[in-house]
Amino acid sequence: MSRSDHREDLLVVTVDERGAAVGTCTVAEAHTGFGVRHRAFSVLLRDSEGRVLLQRRAEAKTRYFGVWANTCCGHPAPGEAVVAAAARRLTEEMGLRGVRLTEVGAFVYHAVDAATSRAEYEFDHVLVGQSDDDPTPDPLEVADWCRSDLSLLLGCPEQAADGEGQYAPWLGPVMRLSYEYWYR
């Protein structure tokens, strides 16, 4: 069984429209059909020059593989605090440890990946932090990474700055909430 297959068996927290926990289901169940609304998080890091750290999702991902996204994202396990889960995934995906994370907001989105027909229906908590460290990403999670000027990305055009790949559908709201927090 591959790591991606195993991750599909993990439990996520299902939530109501306000983000209150109402139950659990597997990652696979949460992303099948229309999708089941569940708790997720997105982390966006910036460096001391104000550039944000983006990743291109690895081909092994079951949803939105090969597209540019925020620094890392994932789902807290039942009973796991969002900040703790985000710190864990930051280490697992990007090899970055000890980054202080701050939750800056949340939003709900729904999208269906045309390549896999899997759905995202997430109550997404956005966390930000600062790090000048270069990541050492897990190649099964991350195909590539770059640092980019946040102001160039706020509109989330269809193509990445280098002309390759598209952005993940959740990146726009993550960028806007992060920008509002950093530059309020």
Structure pTM?
Answer: 0.91
Residues 4-34 have pLDDT tens digits of: 558 899 999 999 999 999 999 999 999 999 9
Give the CATH number, domain containing residue 135. Answer: 3.90.79.10
Q: What's the chain look like in SS3?
A: CCHHHHHHCCEEEEECCCCCEEEEEEHHHHCCCCCCCEEEEEEEEECCCCEEEEEEECCCCCCCCCCEECCEEECCCCCCCHHHHHHHHHHHHHCCCCCCCEEEEEEEEEEECCCCCCEEEEEEEEEEEECCCCCCCCCCCEEEEEEEEHHHHCCCCCCCCCCCCCECCCHHHHHHHHHHHHCC
Our count of domains for the chain comes to: 1
Catalytic residue positions, numbered: 73, 122
Residues 51-101 have pLDDT tens digits of: 999 999 999 999 999 999 999 999 999 999 999 999 999 999 999 999 999
Distances (CA, A) of 114 to 62, 97, 99, 156: 12, 34, 34, 18
Residues 108-145 have pLDDT tens digits of: 999 999 999 999 999 999 999 999 999 999 999 999 99
Range of the domain at 18: 3-182
Amino acid, res. 98: G
What value does the CA radius of gyration of the chain take, rounded to a whole number of Å? 15
Residues 138-168 have pLDDT tens digits of: 999 999 999 998 666 655 444 433 334 588 9
What whole-number distance in Å separates Cα of residue 53 and Cα of residue 169?
Answer: 17
What whole-number distance in Å separates Cα of residue 93 and Cα of residue 160?
Answer: 20
